[in-house]
Amino acid sequence: MPKKALIFGVTGQDGALLARLLLNKGYVVAGTSRDAQLSGFHNLRVLGIFDAVRVFSANPTDFRSALDVISRTRPQEVYNLAGQSSVGLSFEQPVETFNSIGIANLTLLEAIRFLGDKSVRYYNAGSGECFGNTPIPVTEEAPFHPRSPYAVAKAAAFWQVANYREAYGLYACSGILFNHESPLRPERFVTQKIVRAACRIASGSREKLVLGNMEIERDWGWAEEYVDAMWRILQQEHPEDLIIATGTFRKLKEFVAEVFKAFGLNWEEHVTQSESLLRPSDITQSRAQPAKAQKSLNWTAKSTYRDVARMLVAAELERLRQ
């Protein structure tokens, strides 16, 4: 019998890419949206897999709703990729951010415990944001120092998973993912904002791309590779929390330069900074050491920031062409 997987947050970038990966591996895949009748499931349609995924309405912060969809689908693997995903927006909506990440994660863990099937394997989408500023590449043993409401919620969810694993014997683990991108990201994410503005400027627009702090450092990877790591995390004999990252890091202005270079443009002529886009508190350096994932999962990121920039540009040009 094929394995069954349930993805909370199947409409997002990671959810859609994971659904495609699992379908290609022969899984029966179900996914949730808060209102499946109103959701357009745009990303599933872009990937051409909408008809292959069973979709359900479910609110992961509502215990009865979560319990119902898990009971109806009876998955061997549950992936929690739902929740408010923007660090910047979390400063404006801290309560909603914590509810959609921390409370939702706790609700799903409790629903799985309530059903009593310890064969179910649970994956929680953690975040490198939990570590805060990391001038030295961090390992899984590094302490958390979250610097945004988003990171606070992700840190809480991480410890909930660890507690349910230790206290109740659930197979539950977190992937501590650093930045990962794809064409499925909406424009509120800075990488897509940069790519789309550069495309418009290269086509003759006289606009200026306005950004915040361009000295920040990030570890950018390719999302398709990262969802493969998610799947691998749940295939281990014993549950384990792992950092997923490329192990390389660049300043935002270097990423900007790569994008504009793809169009033969000098970024400094088209980009300006604004203090209005600075966050109340921000991470200046985000560096990771993914050696444990390389050893445990036999997984290594193939694409670095330069590859990511070029692939995003190519995808945007293809989208505009179509």
Active-site residues, by number, are 127, 129, 150
**Angstrom distance (rounded) from CA 167 to CA 173:** 13
Amino acid at residue number 88 = G
| CA angle centred on 211, ends 209 and 280, rounded to 5° | 160
**Angstrom distance (rounded) from CA 308 to CA 220:** 7
> Does residue 264 sit in helix, strand or coil?
coil
Q: Show the DSSP H helices in 50-92 as ranges.
A: 63-73, 87-92
Compute how many other C-beta atoms are within 10 angstroms of the C-beta atom of residue 14.
25
Which residue shows structure tokens 């990966």?
21
Which residue shows structure tokens 């990030």?
218
Encoding tokens for residue 255? 């990423």
Give residues with Cβ within 8 angstroms of 238, minimum separation 6. none
> Does residue 258 sit in helix, strand or coil?
helix
Amino acid at residue number 320 = L
**Angstrom distance (rounded) from CA 239 to CA 151:** 22
3-state helix, strand, coil in the chain (%, to 5): 45, 15, 40
Give residues with Cβ within 8 angstroms of 163, minimum separation 6. none
